[in-house]
Amino acid sequence: MQIGIFGRTISEGRKESVKALYQSLFNKGASLHIYEPFCKKSKSLIPDGASVSTFTSHQNFANTCSLLITIGGDGTLLEGITFIKNSEVPILGINTGRLGFLTGFSNEEIDIAAEMAVEQTFSIDKRTLLQVITDPDPFNEFPFALNEATIHKTDSSSMITLMVKRNGAPLNTYWADGLIISTATGSTGYSLSCGGPIMLPESANFIVTPIAPHNLNVRPLVISDEDELSIKMEVRGKEVMLSVDSRSASISAKQTITIKKAPFPVRLVRKPDQDFLKTLREKLMWGNDKRN
d(CA 229, CA 165): 6
Can you tell me the distance from the alpha carbon of 175 to that of 211, in angstroms, rounded to the nearest whole number? 9
Residue 253's contacts (CB-CB under 8 Å, 6 or more residues apart) are 160, 233, 234, 235, 237, 238, 239, 240
State how beta strands 221-224 and 148-152 pair: unpaired
The catalytic residue among 74, 125, 177, 245 is 74
Contact between 172 and 159 (Cβ < 8 Å): no
Max CA separation in the chain (angstroms):
63
Report the C-alpha gap between 244 and 248 in whole angstroms: 6
Q: What is the C-alpha separation between 116 and 121, in angstroms, rounded? A: 5
Q: Are 127 and 265 in contact (CB under 8 A)?
A: yes
Mark whether 74 is an active-site residue: yes
Q: Between the CA of residue 179 and those of 114, 194, 276, what are the distances in Å?
A: 39, 10, 26
- Angle, CA of 60, 63 and 30, to the nearest 5°: 90
Q: Which residues are identified as catalytic?
A: 74
